């Protein structure tokens, strides 16, 4: 007998994973508005550097990315490390 609850949870996890890949591919492509439109209002990204970790709240992300790009002469190198905290998708 199959456990339908576990099947449903697995499907939700796959859908959530696909959604996250889609969202972060939008961000990587520079489509910040499209990325943000798929995110919750309480989104906080954490930017890591040799000097420490900087929290970047959703409403400040576009400005922060623009400032970092300007500081690096458009050579900003970014990587996404995904950590899920709190409630599942």
**What residues does each domain of the chain span?**
4-71
pLDDT, residue 89, reads: 46
pLDDT digit of tens for each residue in the chain (89 aa)? 455 555 555 555 557 788 888 988 898 888 999 999 998 898 888 888 788 888 899 999 999 888 888 888 877 777 666 665 555 44
Is the pTM higher than 0.85? no
pLDDT, residue 1, reads: 47
DSSP character string of 55-85: EEEGGGHHHHHHHHHHHTTS-----------
């Amino acid at each position: 007998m199959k456990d339908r609850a576990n099947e449903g949870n697995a499907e939700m996890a796959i859908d959530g994973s696909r959604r996250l890949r889609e969202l972060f591919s939008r961000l990587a492509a520079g489509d910040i508005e499209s990325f943000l439109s798929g995110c919750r209002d309480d989104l906080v990204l954490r930017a890591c550097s040799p000097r420490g970790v900087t929290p970047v709240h959703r409403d400040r992300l576009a400005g922060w990315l623009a400032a970092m790009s300007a500081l690096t002469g458009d050579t900003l190198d970014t990587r996404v490390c995904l950590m899920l905290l709190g409630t599942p998708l």
